Structure 1
Protein backbone atom coordinates (compact mmCIF):
# COMPACT_ATOMS: atom_id res chain seq x y z
CA UNK A 1 0.00 0.00 0.00
CA UNK A 2 1.26 3.47 -0.84
CA UNK A 3 2.03 5.41 2.33
CA UNK A 4 4.10 8.27 3.70
CA UNK A 5 7.53 7.09 4.78
CA UNK A 6 8.67 9.81 7.17
CA UNK A 7 7.82 12.93 9.08
CA UNK A 8 10.28 15.07 7.16
CA UNK A 9 9.90 18.60 8.49
CA UNK A 10 7.81 20.79 10.76
CA UNK A 11 6.75 24.40 10.32
CA UNK A 12 6.18 26.87 13.15
CA UNK A 13 4.57 30.33 13.07
CA UNK A 14 6.44 32.37 15.69
CA UNK A 15 6.56 35.88 17.09
CA UNK A 16 10.24 35.72 18.15
CA UNK A 17 12.57 34.66 15.35
CA UNK A 18 15.71 35.77 17.19
CA UNK A 19 14.72 33.71 20.22
CA UNK A 20 14.02 30.73 17.97
CA UNK A 21 17.44 31.01 16.34
CA UNK A 22 19.10 31.04 19.77
CA UNK A 23 16.93 28.18 21.02
CA UNK A 24 17.55 25.99 17.98
CA UNK A 25 21.29 26.58 17.62
CA UNK A 26 22.67 27.45 21.07
CA UNK A 27 20.44 25.21 23.18
CA UNK A 28 19.34 22.34 20.92
CA UNK A 29 22.54 22.26 18.85
CA UNK A 30 20.86 22.43 15.44
CA UNK A 31 22.52 24.28 12.56
CA UNK A 32 21.06 27.45 11.10
CA UNK A 33 20.12 26.69 7.51
CA UNK A 34 18.92 30.09 6.31
CA UNK A 35 17.73 33.35 7.82
CA UNK A 36 15.70 36.27 6.48
CA UNK A 37 13.73 39.01 8.26
CA UNK A 38 10.59 36.84 8.02
CA UNK A 39 11.80 33.24 8.39
CA UNK A 40 14.58 30.89 9.38
CA UNK A 41 15.32 27.24 8.88
CA UNK A 42 17.14 24.79 11.13
CA UNK A 43 19.10 21.73 10.05
CA UNK A 44 19.55 18.44 11.91
CA UNK A 45 21.34 16.45 9.23
CA UNK A 46 22.31 16.57 5.56
CA UNK A 47 18.86 17.77 4.52
CA UNK A 48 18.23 21.41 3.63
CA UNK A 49 16.06 21.82 6.73
CA UNK A 50 13.98 19.95 9.29
CA UNK A 51 12.46 23.01 10.99
CA UNK A 52 10.95 26.01 9.20
CA UNK A 53 10.06 28.96 11.43
CA UNK A 54 8.06 31.79 9.86
CA UNK A 55 7.14 35.14 11.38
CA UNK A 56 3.54 35.42 12.59
CA UNK A 57 1.29 35.79 15.61
CA UNK A 58 0.18 32.20 16.22
CA UNK A 59 3.21 30.84 18.14
CA UNK A 60 2.08 27.36 17.22
CA UNK A 61 2.32 24.57 14.69
CA UNK A 62 1.88 25.91 11.15
CA UNK A 63 2.35 22.76 9.02
CA UNK A 64 3.89 19.30 8.99
CA UNK A 65 5.65 17.74 6.00
CA UNK A 66 5.31 14.00 5.41
CA UNK A 67 7.54 12.45 2.77
CA UNK A 68 6.44 10.04 0.04
CA UNK A 69 8.87 7.65 -1.61
CA UNK A 70 7.67 8.42 -5.16
CA UNK A 71 5.37 10.62 -7.24
CA UNK A 72 3.13 7.59 -7.75
CA UNK A 73 2.76 7.17 -3.98
CA UNK A 74 1.86 10.84 -3.62
CA UNK A 75 -0.79 10.44 -6.33
CA UNK A 76 -2.31 7.37 -4.65
CA UNK A 77 -2.40 8.98 -1.20
CA UNK A 78 -3.92 12.17 -2.62
CA UNK A 79 -6.67 10.24 -4.39
CA UNK A 80 -7.33 8.20 -1.26
CA UNK A 81 -7.77 11.42 0.73
CA UNK A 82 -10.04 12.96 -1.91
CA UNK A 83 -12.19 9.82 -1.97
CA UNK A 84 -12.65 10.18 1.79
CA UNK A 85 -13.85 13.79 1.42
CA UNK A 86 -10.62 15.66 2.14
CA UNK A 87 -9.46 18.50 -0.08
CA UNK A 88 -5.99 18.03 -1.58
CA UNK A 89 -4.36 20.83 -3.57
CA UNK A 90 -1.28 20.46 -5.72
CA UNK A 91 1.35 22.96 -4.62
CA UNK A 92 2.90 25.28 -7.16
CA UNK A 93 6.56 25.60 -8.12
CA UNK A 94 7.07 28.55 -5.75
CA UNK A 95 5.95 26.54 -2.72
CA UNK A 96 7.98 23.51 -3.78
CA UNK A 97 11.05 25.72 -4.11
CA UNK A 98 10.45 27.29 -0.70
CA UNK A 99 10.21 23.83 0.91
CA UNK A 100 13.12 22.58 -1.24
CA UNK A 101 11.19 19.56 -2.49
CA UNK A 102 10.53 18.17 -5.96
CA UNK A 103 6.77 18.21 -5.57
CA UNK A 104 4.23 19.07 -2.87
CA UNK A 105 0.51 18.71 -2.14
CA UNK A 106 -1.45 20.39 0.65
CA UNK A 107 -4.30 19.04 2.74
CA UNK A 108 -5.55 19.30 6.34
CA UNK A 109 -6.35 16.75 9.02
CA UNK A 110 -9.77 16.78 10.75
CA UNK A 111 -8.38 19.14 13.41
CA UNK A 112 -7.49 21.67 10.74
CA UNK A 113 -3.75 21.10 11.00
CA UNK A 114 -2.08 21.79 7.66
CA UNK A 115 -0.41 18.68 6.23
CA UNK A 116 2.06 18.86 3.35
CA UNK A 117 2.78 15.71 1.35
CA UNK A 118 6.00 15.90 -0.62
CA UNK A 119 8.50 14.01 -2.74
CA UNK A 120 12.24 14.62 -2.70
CA UNK A 121 13.39 16.82 0.18
CA UNK A 122 16.70 18.25 -1.01
CA UNK A 123 20.10 17.86 0.61
CA UNK A 124 21.90 21.00 1.74
CA UNK A 125 24.96 22.09 -0.27
CA UNK A 126 27.23 21.80 2.78
CA UNK A 127 27.74 19.09 5.45
CA UNK A 128 25.81 19.33 8.71
CA UNK A 129 27.83 20.82 11.57
CA UNK A 130 26.29 21.19 15.02
CA UNK A 131 27.39 24.44 16.66
CA UNK A 132 27.25 22.62 20.01
CA UNK A 133 28.97 19.44 18.81
CA UNK A 134 25.93 17.19 19.06
CA UNK A 135 27.25 13.79 17.99
CA UNK A 136 24.46 13.21 15.46
CA UNK A 137 20.71 13.62 15.30
CA UNK A 138 18.89 10.36 14.60
CA UNK A 139 16.98 10.98 11.37
CA UNK A 140 17.62 9.13 8.09
CA UNK A 141 14.98 6.69 6.90
CA UNK A 142 12.94 7.22 10.09
CA UNK A 143 12.46 10.95 9.64
CA UNK A 144 13.11 14.05 11.72
CA UNK A 145 11.50 12.84 14.95
CA UNK A 146 7.95 12.72 16.28
CA UNK A 147 5.18 15.16 17.07
CA UNK A 148 2.32 14.94 19.56
CA UNK A 149 -0.89 16.65 18.45
CA UNK A 150 -3.65 17.74 20.84
CA UNK A 151 -7.02 16.18 20.01
CA UNK A 152 -9.05 19.21 21.22
CA UNK A 153 -11.98 16.97 22.18
CA UNK A 154 -12.31 15.34 18.75
CA UNK A 155 -13.17 11.67 18.52
CA UNK A 156 -9.83 9.88 18.37
CA UNK A 157 -10.94 7.20 15.94
CA UNK A 158 -11.75 9.86 13.38
CA UNK A 159 -8.16 11.10 13.61
CA UNK A 160 -6.65 7.61 13.59
CA UNK A 161 -8.71 6.75 10.50
CA UNK A 162 -7.63 9.94 8.71
CA UNK A 163 -3.94 9.41 9.40
CA UNK A 164 -4.48 5.78 8.41
CA UNK A 165 -5.17 7.09 4.90
CA UNK A 166 -1.57 8.36 4.93
CA UNK A 167 -0.39 4.92 6.03
CA UNK A 168 -0.02 5.38 9.78
CA UNK A 169 -0.59 2.34 12.02
CA UNK A 170 -1.28 2.18 15.74
CA UNK A 171 1.75 1.31 17.87
CA UNK A 172 0.29 1.53 21.36
CA UNK A 173 -1.91 3.51 23.76
CA UNK A 174 -1.20 4.93 27.22
CA UNK A 175 -4.00 5.92 29.61
CA UNK A 176 -2.69 7.34 32.88
CA UNK A 177 -4.83 8.68 35.72
CA UNK A 178 -2.97 11.89 36.55
CA UNK A 179 -5.47 12.96 39.22
CA UNK A 180 -8.60 11.35 40.68
CA UNK A 181 -11.00 10.95 37.77
CA UNK A 182 -8.68 12.71 35.29
CA UNK A 183 -7.00 10.52 32.65
CA UNK A 184 -4.33 11.64 30.19
CA UNK A 185 -4.64 9.45 27.09
CA UNK A 186 -2.16 9.24 24.22
CA UNK A 187 -2.30 7.06 21.08
CA UNK A 188 1.01 6.46 19.29
CA UNK A 189 1.25 5.80 15.54
CA UNK A 190 4.11 4.82 13.24
CA UNK A 191 4.83 5.00 9.52
CA UNK A 192 8.34 3.48 9.61
CA UNK A 193 10.58 1.77 12.16
CA UNK A 194 10.53 4.68 14.61
CA UNK A 195 8.23 3.67 17.48
CA UNK A 196 6.05 6.65 16.66
CA UNK A 197 6.29 9.59 14.31
CA UNK A 198 2.89 10.87 15.42
CA UNK A 199 0.90 10.74 18.63
CA UNK A 200 -2.59 11.98 19.45
CA UNK A 201 -3.10 13.30 22.98
CA UNK A 202 -6.30 13.83 24.93
CA UNK A 203 -5.13 16.31 27.56
CA UNK A 204 -5.55 20.01 28.31
CA UNK A 205 -3.10 22.11 26.29
CA UNK A 206 -3.49 25.50 24.59
CA UNK A 207 -1.44 24.68 21.48
CA UNK A 208 -2.07 22.46 18.46
CA UNK A 209 1.12 20.53 19.22
CA UNK A 210 2.22 19.44 22.67
CA UNK A 211 5.80 18.76 21.62
CA UNK A 212 8.17 17.73 18.88
CA UNK A 213 10.86 15.17 19.71
CA UNK A 214 14.42 15.38 18.41
CA UNK A 215 16.73 12.44 19.10
CA UNK A 216 20.51 12.44 19.52
CA UNK A 217 22.78 9.47 18.90
CA UNK A 218 24.73 9.75 22.17
CA UNK A 219 23.21 9.77 25.67
CA UNK A 220 25.73 12.43 26.69
CA UNK A 221 24.11 14.82 24.19
CA UNK A 222 20.96 14.75 26.34
CA UNK A 223 22.85 15.71 29.48
CA UNK A 224 24.80 18.43 27.72
CA UNK A 225 21.63 19.94 26.22
CA UNK A 226 19.93 19.71 29.62
CA UNK A 227 22.80 21.66 31.19
CA UNK A 228 22.72 24.27 28.41
CA UNK A 229 19.01 24.83 28.98
CA UNK A 230 19.49 25.07 32.75
CA UNK A 231 22.36 27.53 32.42
CA UNK A 232 20.27 29.63 30.03
CA UNK A 233 17.27 29.49 32.41
CA UNK A 234 15.12 28.17 29.56
CA UNK A 235 11.81 27.04 31.13
CA UNK A 236 11.45 23.27 31.42
CA UNK A 237 8.22 21.34 31.12
CA UNK A 238 9.62 18.07 32.47
CA UNK A 239 12.99 17.04 33.82
CA UNK A 240 14.99 13.95 32.81
CA UNK A 241 13.08 10.69 32.61
CA UNK A 242 12.36 7.52 30.66
CA UNK A 243 9.24 6.49 28.71
CA UNK A 244 8.09 2.86 28.97
CA UNK A 245 6.84 2.44 25.41
CA UNK A 246 9.46 3.96 23.11
CA UNK A 247 12.19 3.71 25.80
CA UNK A 248 13.27 7.29 25.15
CA UNK A 249 15.53 8.87 27.76
CA UNK A 250 14.73 12.57 27.54
CA UNK A 251 13.73 15.91 28.98
CA UNK A 252 11.15 18.48 27.82
CA UNK A 253 11.90 22.18 27.46
CA UNK A 254 9.62 25.01 26.38
CA UNK A 255 10.30 26.64 23.01
CA UNK A 256 9.94 30.40 22.49
CA UNK A 257 6.45 29.64 21.12
CA UNK A 258 5.19 27.89 24.26
CA UNK A 259 4.96 24.26 23.18
CA UNK A 260 7.86 21.95 24.03
CA UNK A 261 10.75 20.11 22.45
CA UNK A 262 11.58 16.67 23.82
CA UNK A 263 15.33 16.13 23.53
CA UNK A 264 15.97 12.40 23.72
CA UNK A 265 18.21 9.40 23.18
CA UNK A 266 17.69 5.66 22.76
CA UNK A 267 14.34 5.60 20.99
CA UNK A 268 12.93 2.21 20.13
CA UNK A 269 12.88 0.86 16.59
CA UNK A 270 10.05 -1.62 16.06
CA UNK A 271 9.65 -4.58 13.75
CA UNK A 272 6.09 -4.34 12.48
CA UNK A 273 6.05 -8.02 11.47
CA UNK A 274 6.27 -9.04 15.14
CA UNK A 275 4.86 -5.99 16.92
CA UNK A 276 1.79 -6.29 19.13
CA UNK A 277 -0.17 -3.18 20.09
CA UNK A 278 0.26 -2.49 23.79
CA UNK A 279 -1.99 -0.70 26.28
CA UNK A 280 -0.09 0.87 29.18
CA UNK A 281 -1.09 2.91 32.23
CA UNK A 282 2.06 4.96 32.79
CA UNK A 283 3.48 7.74 30.62
CA UNK A 284 6.94 7.59 32.24
CA UNK A 285 8.81 4.72 33.86
CA UNK A 286 10.66 7.23 36.04
CA UNK A 287 11.37 10.94 36.11
CA UNK A 288 9.82 13.47 33.73
CA UNK A 289 8.75 15.47 36.77
CA UNK A 290 7.52 19.04 36.69
CA UNK A 291 10.39 21.41 37.51
CA UNK A 292 8.37 23.05 40.30
CA UNK A 293 7.94 19.67 42.02
CA UNK A 294 11.67 18.96 41.76
CA UNK A 295 12.53 22.43 43.09
CA UNK A 296 10.22 21.90 46.08
CA UNK A 297 11.81 18.54 46.88
CA UNK A 298 15.31 20.03 46.70
CA UNK A 299 14.49 23.05 48.86
CA UNK A 300 15.48 22.46 52.52
Structure 2
Protein backbone atom coordinates (compact mmCIF):
# COMPACT_ATOMS: atom_id res chain seq x y z
CA UNK A 1 0.00 0.00 0.00
CA UNK A 2 1.24 3.50 -0.83
CA UNK A 3 2.23 5.51 2.25
CA UNK A 4 3.73 8.83 3.20
CA UNK A 5 7.26 8.30 4.45
CA UNK A 6 7.52 10.82 7.28
CA UNK A 7 6.19 13.85 9.06
CA UNK A 8 8.48 16.28 7.25
CA UNK A 9 7.67 19.63 8.87
CA UNK A 10 5.20 21.40 11.12
CA UNK A 11 3.71 24.87 10.77
CA UNK A 12 2.61 27.06 13.67
CA UNK A 13 0.70 30.34 13.66
CA UNK A 14 2.21 32.36 16.51
CA UNK A 15 1.64 35.81 17.95
CA UNK A 16 5.24 36.31 19.19
CA UNK A 17 7.98 35.30 16.75
CA UNK A 18 10.70 36.83 18.95
CA UNK A 19 9.69 34.55 21.82
CA UNK A 20 9.61 31.58 19.46
CA UNK A 21 13.11 32.34 18.20
CA UNK A 22 14.47 32.44 21.77
CA UNK A 23 12.57 29.30 22.67
CA UNK A 24 13.51 27.30 19.58
CA UNK A 25 17.14 28.31 19.32
CA UNK A 26 18.29 29.07 22.88
CA UNK A 27 16.22 26.52 24.83
CA UNK A 28 15.48 23.71 22.35
CA UNK A 29 18.79 23.87 20.48
CA UNK A 30 17.45 24.36 16.95
CA UNK A 31 19.12 26.50 14.30
CA UNK A 32 17.48 29.55 12.75
CA UNK A 33 17.01 29.07 9.02
CA UNK A 34 15.04 32.17 8.08
CA UNK A 35 13.45 35.21 9.70
CA UNK A 36 11.66 37.51 7.29
CA UNK A 37 8.22 38.75 6.29
CA UNK A 38 6.51 37.41 9.39
CA UNK A 39 8.03 33.94 9.06
CA UNK A 40 10.51 32.16 11.31
CA UNK A 41 11.92 28.88 10.01
CA UNK A 42 13.91 26.56 12.27
CA UNK A 43 16.22 23.68 11.40
CA UNK A 44 16.76 20.39 13.24
CA UNK A 45 19.03 18.73 10.69
CA UNK A 46 20.42 19.26 7.20
CA UNK A 47 16.96 19.93 5.73
CA UNK A 48 16.04 23.52 4.90
CA UNK A 49 13.60 23.60 7.82
CA UNK A 50 11.49 21.40 10.06
CA UNK A 51 9.51 24.16 11.83
CA UNK A 52 7.79 27.04 10.04
CA UNK A 53 6.32 29.66 12.39
CA UNK A 54 4.15 32.30 10.75
CA UNK A 55 2.84 35.43 12.40
CA UNK A 56 -0.80 35.43 13.51
CA UNK A 57 -3.18 35.28 16.44
CA UNK A 58 -4.08 31.58 16.53
CA UNK A 59 -1.10 30.36 18.59
CA UNK A 60 -1.77 26.83 17.45
CA UNK A 61 -1.09 24.29 14.73
CA UNK A 62 -1.31 25.85 11.26
CA UNK A 63 -0.33 22.91 9.01
CA UNK A 64 1.58 19.64 8.89
CA UNK A 65 3.73 18.50 5.97
CA UNK A 66 3.91 14.79 5.17
CA UNK A 67 6.52 13.64 2.65
CA UNK A 68 6.10 11.04 -0.07
CA UNK A 69 8.97 9.06 -1.55
CA UNK A 70 8.29 10.07 -5.14
CA UNK A 71 5.81 11.72 -7.49
CA UNK A 72 3.96 8.48 -8.19
CA UNK A 73 3.26 7.88 -4.50
CA UNK A 74 2.11 11.47 -4.07
CA UNK A 75 -0.26 11.13 -7.00
CA UNK A 76 -1.62 7.83 -5.66
CA UNK A 77 -2.40 9.31 -2.24
CA UNK A 78 -4.02 12.39 -3.76
CA UNK A 79 -6.15 10.14 -5.98
CA UNK A 80 -7.14 8.04 -2.96
CA UNK A 81 -8.24 11.10 -1.00
CA UNK A 82 -10.25 12.44 -3.90
CA UNK A 83 -11.91 9.06 -4.42
CA UNK A 84 -12.96 9.17 -0.77
CA UNK A 85 -14.59 12.56 -1.27
CA UNK A 86 -11.85 14.81 0.15
CA UNK A 87 -11.06 18.04 -1.64
CA UNK A 88 -7.36 18.27 -2.54
CA UNK A 89 -5.75 21.17 -4.40
CA UNK A 90 -2.30 21.49 -5.90
CA UNK A 91 -0.17 24.15 -4.24
CA UNK A 92 0.94 27.07 -6.37
CA UNK A 93 4.57 27.44 -7.37
CA UNK A 94 5.18 30.23 -4.88
CA UNK A 95 3.88 28.09 -2.00
CA UNK A 96 6.07 25.16 -3.05
CA UNK A 97 9.04 27.53 -3.22
CA UNK A 98 8.29 28.90 0.25
CA UNK A 99 8.08 25.38 1.66
CA UNK A 100 11.30 24.46 -0.21
CA UNK A 101 9.67 21.42 -1.87
CA UNK A 102 9.40 20.17 -5.45
CA UNK A 103 5.64 19.54 -5.40
CA UNK A 104 2.87 20.12 -2.87
CA UNK A 105 -0.82 19.35 -2.50
CA UNK A 106 -3.05 20.89 0.20
CA UNK A 107 -6.01 19.26 1.91
CA UNK A 108 -7.87 19.19 5.24
CA UNK A 109 -8.29 16.23 7.59
CA UNK A 110 -11.66 15.35 9.24
CA UNK A 111 -10.84 17.52 12.27
CA UNK A 112 -10.13 20.57 10.12
CA UNK A 113 -6.34 20.51 10.31
CA UNK A 114 -4.50 21.63 7.18
CA UNK A 115 -2.36 18.86 5.69
CA UNK A 116 0.32 19.41 3.06
CA UNK A 117 1.47 16.41 1.02
CA UNK A 118 4.90 16.98 -0.47
CA UNK A 119 7.77 15.58 -2.48
CA UNK A 120 11.37 16.78 -2.35
CA UNK A 121 11.96 18.79 0.82
CA UNK A 122 15.23 20.56 0.02
CA UNK A 123 18.47 20.32 1.92
CA UNK A 124 19.90 23.49 3.42
CA UNK A 125 22.94 25.14 1.89
CA UNK A 126 25.04 24.48 4.99
CA UNK A 127 25.33 21.60 7.48
CA UNK A 128 23.15 21.76 10.60
CA UNK A 129 24.82 23.38 13.59
CA UNK A 130 23.40 23.78 17.07
CA UNK A 131 24.95 26.11 19.62
CA UNK A 132 23.72 23.99 22.53
CA UNK A 133 23.35 20.31 21.64
CA UNK A 134 25.98 17.74 22.56
CA UNK A 135 24.53 15.34 20.00
CA UNK A 136 21.89 15.88 17.29
CA UNK A 137 18.17 15.72 16.71
CA UNK A 138 16.91 12.28 15.72
CA UNK A 139 15.20 12.75 12.36
CA UNK A 140 16.31 10.76 9.31
CA UNK A 141 13.91 7.96 8.36
CA UNK A 142 11.64 8.89 11.29
CA UNK A 143 11.01 12.46 10.18
CA UNK A 144 10.83 15.57 12.33
CA UNK A 145 9.14 13.89 15.32
CA UNK A 146 5.55 13.23 16.30
CA UNK A 147 2.46 15.32 16.88
CA UNK A 148 -0.24 14.61 19.45
CA UNK A 149 -3.52 16.09 18.29
CA UNK A 150 -6.95 16.62 19.80
CA UNK A 151 -9.53 14.27 18.30
CA UNK A 152 -12.68 16.45 18.04
CA UNK A 153 -14.22 14.21 15.38
CA UNK A 154 -15.26 10.59 15.02
CA UNK A 155 -12.16 8.49 15.71
CA UNK A 156 -12.84 5.92 13.03
CA UNK A 157 -13.32 8.64 10.45
CA UNK A 158 -9.95 10.11 11.41
CA UNK A 159 -8.21 6.73 11.27
CA UNK A 160 -9.78 5.88 7.93
CA UNK A 161 -8.68 9.22 6.48
CA UNK A 162 -5.11 8.91 7.71
CA UNK A 163 -5.18 5.31 6.53
CA UNK A 164 -5.36 6.67 2.98
CA UNK A 165 -2.05 8.40 3.74
CA UNK A 166 -0.70 5.02 4.84
CA UNK A 167 -0.84 5.43 8.62
CA UNK A 168 -1.33 2.26 10.67
CA UNK A 169 -2.35 1.86 14.31
CA UNK A 170 0.52 1.22 16.72
CA UNK A 171 -1.39 1.04 20.00
CA UNK A 172 -4.05 2.52 22.27
CA UNK A 173 -3.90 3.99 25.78
CA UNK A 174 -6.94 4.77 27.94
CA UNK A 175 -6.29 6.00 31.47
CA UNK A 176 -8.58 7.50 34.09
CA UNK A 177 -6.78 10.72 35.03
CA UNK A 178 -9.46 11.95 37.47
CA UNK A 179 -12.73 10.53 38.70
CA UNK A 180 -14.84 10.06 35.60
CA UNK A 181 -12.26 11.79 33.38
CA UNK A 182 -10.30 9.72 30.85
CA UNK A 183 -7.39 10.36 28.53
CA UNK A 184 -8.14 8.11 25.55
CA UNK A 185 -5.46 8.06 22.86
CA UNK A 186 -4.60 6.18 19.68
CA UNK A 187 -1.08 6.17 18.22
CA UNK A 188 -0.30 5.72 14.51
CA UNK A 189 2.87 5.24 12.49
CA UNK A 190 4.06 5.62 8.91
CA UNK A 191 7.66 4.46 9.40
CA UNK A 192 9.75 2.86 12.15
CA UNK A 193 9.14 5.69 14.62
CA UNK A 194 6.63 4.32 17.15
CA UNK A 195 4.18 7.06 16.19
CA UNK A 196 4.24 10.12 13.99
CA UNK A 197 0.63 11.16 14.67
CA UNK A 198 -1.40 10.43 17.81
CA UNK A 199 -4.96 11.44 18.61
CA UNK A 200 -6.58 11.90 21.99
CA UNK A 201 -10.02 12.50 23.40
CA UNK A 202 -9.12 14.61 26.43
CA UNK A 203 -9.60 18.19 27.64
CA UNK A 204 -7.12 20.63 26.02
CA UNK A 205 -7.80 24.04 24.46
CA UNK A 206 -5.48 23.75 21.43
CA UNK A 207 -5.58 21.58 18.31
CA UNK A 208 -2.05 20.42 19.17
CA UNK A 209 -1.26 19.13 22.65
CA UNK A 210 2.41 18.58 21.91
CA UNK A 211 5.05 17.97 19.31
CA UNK A 212 7.86 15.58 20.21
CA UNK A 213 11.45 16.28 19.23
CA UNK A 214 14.09 13.66 20.00
CA UNK A 215 17.81 14.00 20.69
CA UNK A 216 20.61 11.46 20.34
CA UNK A 217 22.13 11.79 23.82
CA UNK A 218 20.25 11.47 27.12
CA UNK A 219 22.42 14.28 28.51
CA UNK A 220 20.86 16.68 26.03
CA UNK A 221 17.48 16.03 27.68
CA UNK A 222 18.89 16.97 31.06
CA UNK A 223 20.66 20.03 29.73
CA UNK A 224 17.51 21.25 27.95
CA UNK A 225 15.54 20.60 31.15
CA UNK A 226 17.97 22.84 33.05
CA UNK A 227 17.90 25.54 30.37
CA UNK A 228 14.11 25.67 30.48
CA UNK A 229 14.10 25.71 34.27
CA UNK A 230 16.69 28.49 34.44
CA UNK A 231 14.68 30.50 31.90
CA UNK A 232 11.51 29.90 33.96
CA UNK A 233 9.79 28.49 30.91
CA UNK A 234 6.55 26.89 32.14
CA UNK A 235 6.57 23.10 32.31
CA UNK A 236 3.63 20.87 31.48
CA UNK A 237 5.21 17.70 32.91
CA UNK A 238 8.47 16.83 34.60
CA UNK A 239 10.90 14.09 33.53
CA UNK A 240 9.35 10.68 32.96
CA UNK A 241 8.93 7.76 30.58
CA UNK A 242 6.06 6.42 28.48
CA UNK A 243 5.20 2.69 28.46
CA UNK A 244 4.44 2.48 24.73
CA UNK A 245 7.20 4.35 22.87
CA UNK A 246 9.65 4.12 25.82
CA UNK A 247 10.55 7.80 25.41
CA UNK A 248 12.44 9.42 28.30
CA UNK A 249 11.29 13.02 28.21
CA UNK A 250 9.84 16.15 29.73
CA UNK A 251 7.13 18.51 28.48
CA UNK A 252 7.64 22.27 28.32
CA UNK A 253 5.15 24.95 27.29
CA UNK A 254 5.86 26.78 24.05
CA UNK A 255 5.26 30.52 23.61
CA UNK A 256 2.01 29.55 21.85
CA UNK A 257 0.61 27.56 24.77
CA UNK A 258 0.91 23.99 23.50
CA UNK A 259 3.86 21.80 24.49
CA UNK A 260 7.12 20.37 23.27
CA UNK A 261 7.98 16.87 24.42
CA UNK A 262 11.77 16.81 24.54
CA UNK A 263 12.92 13.21 24.53
CA UNK A 264 15.52 10.51 24.05
CA UNK A 265 15.45 6.79 23.35
CA UNK A 266 12.17 6.42 21.44
CA UNK A 267 11.20 2.93 20.32
CA UNK A 268 11.73 1.90 16.69
CA UNK A 269 9.16 -0.69 15.68
CA UNK A 270 9.33 -3.50 13.15
CA UNK A 271 6.18 -3.33 11.06
CA UNK A 272 6.51 -6.99 10.08
CA UNK A 273 6.25 -8.23 13.66
CA UNK A 274 4.46 -5.43 15.53
CA UNK A 275 1.24 -6.28 17.34
CA UNK A 276 -1.23 -3.59 18.40
CA UNK A 277 -1.34 -3.11 22.18
CA UNK A 278 -4.02 -1.78 24.52
CA UNK A 279 -2.52 -0.05 27.57
CA UNK A 280 -4.08 1.61 30.61
CA UNK A 281 -1.30 4.01 31.65
CA UNK A 282 0.12 7.03 29.84
CA UNK A 283 3.33 6.98 31.88
CA UNK A 284 5.57 4.27 33.29
CA UNK A 285 6.89 6.76 35.84
CA UNK A 286 7.28 10.53 36.26
CA UNK A 287 5.72 13.08 33.90
CA UNK A 288 4.10 14.75 36.88
CA UNK A 289 2.55 18.18 36.80
CA UNK A 290 4.92 20.79 38.27
CA UNK A 291 2.43 21.87 40.94
CA UNK A 292 2.03 18.26 42.10
CA UNK A 293 5.81 18.01 42.51
CA UNK A 294 5.95 21.37 44.30
CA UNK A 295 3.26 20.25 46.75
CA UNK A 296 5.05 16.95 47.41
CA UNK A 297 8.29 18.77 48.16
CA UNK A 298 6.71 20.91 50.84
CA UNK A 299 7.89 19.91 54.35
Q: 1:31: which partner in 2?
A: 31
Q: 2:267: which partner in 1?
A: 268
After superposition, the C-alpha distances for 1:248-286 in whole angstroms (9 at most, x for unaligned) are 000000000000000000000000110000000000000
Task: Find the aligned partners of 2:89 and 2:166 in 1 and give their Cα distance.
Answer: 19
Task: Find the aligned partners of 1:273 and 1:9 in 2 and give their Cα distance.
Answer: 27
**Unmatched tracts of structure 1, length 5 or more:** none
Local SS of the residue matching 2:194: coil
After superposition, the C-alpha distances for 1:224-270 in whole angstroms (9 at most, x for unaligned) are 00000000000000000000000000000000000000000000000
Contact residue 29 and residue 134 of structure 1 kept, 8 A? no
Q: TM-score, normalised on structure 1?
A: 0.99
5 Å-filtered alignment, 1:185-264, equals 185-264=184-263
Task: Find the aligned partners of 2:246 and 2:118 in 1 and give their Cα distance.
Answer: 30
Task: Find the aligned partners of 1:219 and 1:133 in 2 and give their Cα distance.
Answer: 11
How much does 1:181 deviate? 1.8
How much does 1:37 deviate? 4.2
After superposition, the C-alpha distances for 1:153-212 in whole angstroms (9 at most, x for unaligned) are x21111011100100000000000111221111100000000000000110111011000
Q: TM-score, normalised on structure 2?
A: 0.99
Q: 1:160: which partner in 2?
A: 159
Local SS of the residue matching 1:124: coil
How much does 1:149 deviate? 0.7
How much does 1:299 deviate? 2.0
Q: 2:142: which partner in 1?
A: 142
Q: 2:121: which partner in 1?
A: 121
Local SS of the residue matching 1:118: strand
How much does 1:133 deviate? 2.5
Q: 1:295: which partner in 2?
A: 294
Which contiguous aligned blocks of 4+ residues in structure 1 show a shift greater than 2 angstroms? none
**Unmatched tracts of structure 2, length 5 or more:** none
Q: 2:104: which partner in 1?
A: 104
After superposition, the C-alpha distances for 1:122-166 in whole angstroms (9 at most, x for unaligned) are 0000010012134110000110000011012x2111101110010
Local SS of the residue matching 1:89: strand
How big is the alpha-carbon RMSD for the aligned residues of Structure 1 and Structure 2?
Answer: 0.6
Local SS of the residue matching 1:4: coil
Task: Find the aligned partners of 1:169 and 1:293 in 2 and give their Cα distance.
Answer: 35
Task: Find the aligned partners of 2:250 and 2:156 in 1 and give their Cα distance.
Answer: 29
Task: Find the aligned partners of 1:229 and 1:17 in 2 and give their Cα distance.
Answer: 18
Task: Find the aligned partners of 2:257 and 2:84 in 1 and give their Cα distance.
Answer: 34
* Aligned residue pair count: 299
Q: 2:131: which partner in 1?
A: 131
Contact residue 177 and residue 184 of structure 1 kept, 8 A? yes
